[in-house]
Structures are given as C-alpha cells and as structure tokens.
Structure 1
Amino acid sequence: MLMSNILNELITITRQAGDKIMEFYRRGETQTWTKKDDSPITEADLAAHHIIVDGLAQLTPDIPVLSEESANITWDERKQWQRYWLVDPLDGTKEFIKRNGEFTVNIALVDNGTPIMATVYAPALDQMFWADKENGSFFSEGQQAPIKLDLTVTQPETKLRVVGSRSHPSAEMATFVEQFELHEIVPTGSSLKFCLVAQGRADIYPRLGPTMEWDTGAGHCIALLAGAVVTKLDGSELLYNQRESLLNEFFVVSHPLIEWN
C-alpha cells in the first residue's frame, strides 16, 4: 500500500478514536482507575485503544503496534522491530478528566528509531495534525493547510514563547527559562505542545520531566517535519525503541534558530 493511502486511512482511524473519546467526554461520567505508576486511565483510553489497534491490524497487518495500554511487550521482541506503530490512545488523560479540551489521540509510524508518519488529533478542539516524511506536516481545523516554520525569523519580536506543561510543572523548567531574559510561559496540555512549536505559535518546548515514548512519538514527527529541532539535552537525536526502558530522556523542541543551553 502507498504511504499516502496509509496516511489517509490513519487519519480516519485517528478520528474514529477521537469520536469515541468524545462520547465519554460529553457524557461527563467516565470510570477512572489508577495505574501502577499512579497515572490515571479511563474507559475512554481503553475504548480508543481498541479502535486504533483493530484499525491498524486491518490497515498494516505486518507492522506491530506498541500502545500505552498494551505496553507489556518484551525487549527481546521489541528490539527485533525495524518499523512499528507507536500509540497513545488518549494523551493528556488529566486534561480529559479536568475537561479543558487539551487531550489528543497520538499515532506514529516509527522506522529505525525515527517517527516518519503521524497523526495528532484533539477531538474536543476539532484540530487534526498529520505528517509524513515525503510531504511534511499539515493542520486542519475545518480547512487543511501545510505547516512549515519560517526560517527567516532570527529571533522573536517580543518575548520568547516557552511551552510548559499544564499538569506537570517542574523546578527544572523554571531554571531552564532563566537563560532567556524576556520570555513568557504558554501552558498547554498533551502533545499539543509539540504542535504549537510546529505551527510557530511558540518558540521552544523544553521537556524536563518524565515522558514515555508513546507520549512523544506523534508530536515529535509533526514538529520535526514542520522544520523544528527535537533533541536531547546533549544535542543528540531523540530516538525510539533503542533500549529496554520506554522512558524518554529529557529533550527540547525548538525553532532551529533559537539558541539554548
């Protein structure tokens, strides 16, 4: 199947998962459990997970799937994978529970450690982002448009816009932003933080708190293919499925002309 056909079907699957999440969201009564790491999981997470996994199995039966809700795949098996789907059925569960709309469905196709195709859908906002390595990144909020960073702008006109987590503030973040004389924090939930940088609506997103690979793969792809830089703190590339742990190292997403240390 052509990559463009896969992407079109992927957008459909992503939207179906988002529609299912919205059924729970509108109802306002969703059963919630606490996982071993103390993070919440809801009925909506599980329902979206099943829609995505079933859809991907039909779309690309030979490509394995790693989802937050089915992550108990051994390293011995995972390290054999060259290409696989990386899924977070409901990213920003805390935002979902708080009912602020800033939650997303995230699906990324990872090849040799790098995300090469992705969808990020915020169903409560009706915002869809998608990307593939051949065509770049796109955004739709009723009307489709490509997103590409302007590389002629060398510095922000006023304050540097720093994306911060709405639900996970940290002392490390506060220390990081001290290097910028003029800055403002743009609090945002879920993988929409990547998308703000991709759209040029923010300049830098330092993630100095814990994230799992399924939290970041899709947003990473959207930002990267829009022209942003995504690196670990030592400047090296953020890669996926390179070790047994699925916990990401700290990283920074930025406009390529923004200098940071």
Structure 2
Amino acid sequence: MKLISWNVNGLRACVRKGFLDYFHKVDADIFCVQEIKLQAGQIDLDLEGYHQYWNYAERKGYSGTAIFTKQKPESVQYGLLDENSESEGRIITLEFEEFYLVNVYTPNSQRDLARLDFRLDWEDKIYEHLTRLDEKKPVIYCGDLNVAHQEIDIRNAKSNIGNSGFTYEERERMTELLNAGFIDSLRYFHPDTEGIYTWWSYMKNVRARNIGWRIDYFIVSERLKDHLQDSVAHPDVMGSDHCPIQLTINL
C-alpha cells in the first residue's frame, strides 16, 4: 500500500503547477493533502477510482484538508476526540478495516509565538485522539505537523532554537507522542541521514541550496513497524513550498 501526504499550499494553485500530473503518476492508494485553502464548490477534481473527503475551513482561503482514497473507509470523522466538526478544517480521520488514517494540518504557533498556547492545546487533544484510536486498532498519522522534531530535521538548528516550529514545547510534544507507542517512519529507515527536508522558504535559492525543515511526517503505531517497507520525501516534486512524502506499507 502506497500513501502520499503533501501540504499543497493552495490546491488550486498547485493544480496549475502540475498537481494532477504527479497525482496520476504516483498512483497512491491513499493521497492526503493539507492547506487546500478553498471552500466547497471552488474546485472539481475528476479523480476516477478515488473516494474524496474534504474538510474546509470556515474562513475563506485558509487551512483545510482532504483525502483521496481508492478504498472506501468504514467511517469518517472531521474533528478531534468526540467532536465531528472543527472550524479550521485541520483534521480528517478515516477508519479502515485494519487501521485508522489521521490526516492533519497542525496549527502554526506563529512567528511571535502568539498562537503557541492554542497550538499546545491542540497537541494535547491530538495526543488523546491518537492514543484513543490506537487502543482500538493501529494508526497511521500524517500531514504537516509544523515542527522539526530534532536538530537533524532542520538545516540551521542553533539559530532557530525557540522559533515557531522549533520551540522546546513543540518538540517535546512530539517526543511524548513517540514515547506513547508511535514511530516516526522516516527516521525508522533513515535514523542518521542529514539533509532530508520537506519545507523550504520561498526566499531566493533557499530550496536549491536545501536550506529547509522537515515538518511533514508519517507517524505510525509501533506495532506496524514490521509492516513498513519504506518512508521517503520527494524534494524534486515542485508545486508547493512543501514536497510530498511517501509511506509504503504492507497491510
């Protein structure tokens, strides 16, 4: 089974930049996108063979997530914990026979950390959401998680300590989740490989020089580790300031 996750930073713009060519070429079983920045009726994607699930933000041109899956899920949820709504469109949970898939666009704590408290409250809720699901069946958790977990996950670690996406609090929340029975799938296969990033600033030559952050992840329940086949990033795929990431798993 092949899964793709990609923060497209505006799906309509990404479509104009070749999204559909990549979508059809990669032929994923499940394709998750974040930051779609659109409302219902603003795009019509003809994705033959895929079921489509959309979570639009109430605010126009902001946030939002979607999942395109060949296999129809048993259930769909658009919120955290027992809620089935979430105003910023940041989460979709699909239940399949053998696992849960959770697609997330994690809130950014913002440059001045004005939203750090909101972010940490989100982290507490997503932790409870994932661990609750994991009690029932294994979980595949993916998306733009807006944190570089370790120094290896960011090009200029020392100068970014304490900045949004690299605060102690945000990184510690990721550590707590991994300690609760989850695996960062890319680091499972590539524990010491430097230079693997998934987001680059639009500043001139930054992406060409690979001055980036790894903030997009596939995190899976630890009991799925023997089923994992590969977890990689595709930095050569353009169309967004993020690149797609891929998980291959035998289920």
TM class by shorter chain equals under 0.3
- Normalising by structure 1, report the TM-score: 0.27
- Normalising by structure 2, report the TM-score: 0.28
The structure with the largest helix share of the pair is: 1
Using CA pairs below 8 Å that are at least 6 residues apart, which structure has the higher relative contact order? Answer: 2
